Amino acid sequence: MAAHTYMQAHIQQFLQYLTVEKGLSPNTIVAYAADLKQFSEFLKERGRNRLEDVVRQDLLDFLAARKRNGLSSRSLARQIATLRNFYRFLNHEKILTADPTQNIESPRDWKRLPKTLAFEEVERLLNLPKGDTPSAVRDDALIELMYATGLRVSELTALPLQAVNTVAGYVLATGKGRKQRIIPMGDMALQKIKIYLETARAKLTQGLASDWIFVNRSGRGLTRQGCWKLLKKYARRAGMRRSISPHMLRHSFATHLLERGADLRSVQAMLGHADLSTTQIYTQVTRHRLKQIHEQLHPRG
């Protein structure tokens, strides 16, 4: 087996481990694979055909090259995490004894404040008349549910019919690592979901069986790209000039809850964050917003 092919075999072994043992989502696996492909191609260019020959300086040079090519601090931090996990796996499997990722620090500034919508912007988007066609009724329910639950767009598009309990008013979401969590829907989302299920969904499926709650005009499950497009369409109709994304509604869900007194642990549970520190970034958003309000409105701000 050629040296470079041997390296690829270890990468595939690692990706298989992440899928089977760690239960990571397909999107996360794709991101890991892309990072490691770039890394292996970089090593091949400089003649490092065996993992045993890779030293710490190779990793530093790779990261420096990625940064020069315009990679953001956040993406750079993700690539460092990928390399750390890869070498941890190689050590655990006794493929390598050394770990060149030790003492490589992540960029300090990767934790940028998440972009959110003001409550008034969300209200404008949710209250916008969307029409009475089956697709419009679906879109109204989808956008309302997205904001009401803070679901990731990947979770939303993979939401099966049985995961929505319209009697008790909650959603059973399956997040990263296939972990499940229960999220209340709220009255408005529940009402719109019921209308969609009772009046529009069957028209979209056209009699075809489908497991997914949100379907397109062919009766198949709505895609993540489809969610992006319809959200941008209604944002333009609502007079919103900036580009918005499904994740901005998720960020807004968390920020608005904290602004109105929700405790951090509850928000963490609803978002499906494994680590509380991930949720804590939203407290920085609320502090930043309070500071802006004080500066704008206080007589001596």
- Give catalytic residues, as residue numbers: 152, 176, 247, 250, 273, 282
For residues 117 and 100, give the distance between their C-alpha atoms in angstroms, rounded to a whole number. 42
Q: Contact 51/7 with Cβ under 8 angstroms?
A: yes
For residues 285 and 118, give the distance between their C-alpha atoms in angstroms, rounded to a whole number. 12
Q: Contact 215/204 with Cβ under 8 angstroms?
A: yes
Q: Contact 153/248 with Cβ under 8 angstroms?
A: no
Which of 157, 116, 128 lies closest to 257 in space, CA to CA? 116
Q: Contact 145/185 with Cβ under 8 angstroms?
A: yes
Which residues partner with 31 through β-bridges? none
Burial class (CB in 10 A: 0-12, 13-18, 19+), 122: buried
Q: Contact 286/259 with Cβ under 8 angstroms?
A: yes
